[in-house]
Chains A and B, each alone.
Chain A
Amino acid sequence: DAKTTQPTSMDCAEGRAANLPCNHSTISGNEYVYWYRQIHSQGPQYIIHGLKNNETNEMASLIITEDRKSSTLILPHATLRDTAVYYCIVRVGGGTSYGKLTFGQGTILTVHP
């Protein structure tokens, strides 16, 4: 799996947009970008994923650059409950290794009142 690089920590004011960057410069053509988050003492929670187009769901938006070497997760209106560790993961497109998500250290997002 391609290595990802994320900032160690970020702060965001409640109600503002949180923009979490991720670099994945060695991503291959068949690899997807996935985002998960882990709130303290809970299991990782799936947020969103994409291949090359921008994606949006009820939780967040994912913006992938045209060269696919980086992406940004956007939480449009952050709340205190969004405080968590956010993981950007590159996942192979198929094969038996598809279940092997490689979690890095992630970004600790702290949302302030």
Chain B
Amino acid sequence: NAGVMQNPRHLVRRRGQEARLRCSPMKGHSHVYWYRQLPEEGLKFMVYLQKENIIDESGMPKERFSAEFPKEGPSILRIQQVVRGDSAAYFCASSPELRSPLHFGNGTRLTVT
């Protein structure tokens, strides 16, 4: 049973470009969560989605960031017009039900040059 798959593992973008991070949840998991870990800091919640719906986006920056989890295909975290401060590790997690433990992927490390 494959775990949470994130790609790419490493992503380099120049300032002003767009970054698209993909997350395929574990089989049978319909709840997806995105977290961000800035250098030398702890993980911070960004957004919680359930198929086609955003349930809680209280941790998302108000501008340039968006997330989706379509009926078919992976969840996408999109960052428009990236800035150096967006450089971080972005982790996706999934769970089969709301009250189940979250299982994390190994993250996408975004570097903005």
Contact = CB atoms under 8 A, between A and B. Distances in A.
A46 B98 contact: no
Interface string B69-113: 000000000000000000000010101001101111111000000
B12 interface: no
A102 B35 CA distance: 10
Interface residues of A, number: 22
Interface string A21-44: 000000000000010001001111
Contacts of B35: 101, 103
B99 A94 contact: yes
Determine chain B's interface SS by DSSP, over half rule: strand
A interface majority secondary structure: loop
Interface in B13-40: 31, 33, 35
Contacts of A76: none
Nearest to A32: B99
Interface of B: 4, 31, 33, 35, 42-45, 48, 55-56, 58-59, 91, 93, 95, 98-99, 101-107
Interface of A: 34, 38, 41-46, 49, 93-94, 96-106
